[in-house]
Amino acid sequence: MITNRKRGTVIHFLANPGGGVWSGTKTLAKLHRPRWRVLLVAMYKGQVRPSLAGELAEHFDDAHLVRRPAVTGIHYLAPVSVAAAVRALGVDPDADNVVYHFRTGPFTPWMYRLPRKCTRGRWLASFHGSRGSFFDTHSRLKRMLHSAGVRRLLKKRLKLVAVSDRSARDCAEMYGCRREDFRVVYNGTGPRDGTTCATGSGVRRPFRVGYVGTILPTKGWHKVVAAVRRLRQDGLNVTCSIVGSGPESDKLRQLATQHADWLNAPGHVPNPLVHLFPSLDALVLPSDAEGHPQVLLEAMSCGVPCICSDVGGIAETIRPDQEGYLLSENTDEEIARYIRRMVDGNGLWKKLSENCVTRHREMFTAQHMADAWEALYLE
């Protein structure tokens, strides 16, 4: 467990201080600060959002932000110098107790100009993406560059870390390397003291189904809406909240206006652990591709059973009939079938809810994640 004795310096390198990777980085930094000096190097385009200064002060000892021009692919042509960023933070690059944690996966050698030899300190690159982010790109050149990036990381002997065993196997296939080249550290979430906000109250009326994520076709939000519509047509008292923003937000808002009695589209919800999940009875994530989604862990910590597609690290998180269900067909009919099972099951929802809390507490707390990363830092 983490104590108050400082062990060295950790520098997190990010492409952008926003999104799921940013959320996990902040959690990790906050838990490590009592024992490490925690710094940040991050890129941004355009204007810095007003709330960022407060987030940096709360989670990091110091930060170096690099403004990048809004030019597609600029990082391939002009990567940010690691040596210059380290100097800007006042870190001695010859020190052995410095951890360089690149949270940019295969992009790392293209976004950051690495030293010729990464021999001083400890160097790691974590991979948070999925098969979708690789195979959905139509650029053969981009795929080749990402594979070349991984080869560069291996040549420089960086530790490669994936967010699940499935993701590690996917990365090996995508980038032409070995499964053994990757270590695994699961994401974690929740309050520092390990408490949860689980309700454990049993099924309510109406039964409240939620989706949290980007409003994109590949994320499957429309399947959740279709499943709830199907159940309501069959006479079940079910409502739906689709939370997030994205390219299809206008389409979602139109649907929410047409079905205001059962469909809610609030956009982005800050701190869903407090403001969303305690009010849900089920989370549905029918994505075509995922790594190890943070919202899944947040829902589990609140005792919300989950219905998810079998992609990324989800099958290592949700066990069928224990914390929820894995979608084999990934259709709105299958989603509706599992929702109905939760609604109709005699005591089933309560069992699933309690199992979610237990599994989260045993495997996926923020403290578990922080301890696992610290173990890698100290190897």
**Mind listing the domains of the chain with CATH numbers?**
9-188+365-378 (3.40.50.2000), 207-363 (3.40.50.2000)
Closest CA to 122 of 149, 104, 95: 95
- The total number of residues shown for the chain amounts to 379
Spell out the residues 6+ positions from residue 196 whose beta carbon is closer than 8 angstroms to its own.
Answer: 190, 301, 302, 303, 357, 360, 361
pLDDT by residue (tens digit) across 46-77? 888 888 999 999 999 999 999 888 777 777 78
Cα dihedral sign for 173, 174, 177, 182?
negative
Whole-angstrom distance, CA of residue 26 vs CA of residue 12: 10
Spell out the residues 6+ positions from residue 135 whose beta carbon is closer than 8 angstroms to its own.
Answer: 174, 289
Whole-angstrom distance, CA of residue 259 vs CA of residue 128: 36
pLDDT by residue (tens digit) across 141-198? 778 888 999 999 999 999 999 999 999 998 998 899 999 999 999 999 875 444 444 4
Residues in the chain predicted with pLDDT less than 70, given as ranges, are 1-5, 130-139, 191-204
pLDDT at position 96: 86
pLDDT at position 195: 44
Spell out the residues 6+ positions from residue 247 whose beta carbon is closer than 8 angstroms to its own.
Answer: 215, 216
Scan for tokens 């996990």, then name that residue.
24
Residues 125 and 151: beta-carbon distance below 8 Å: no
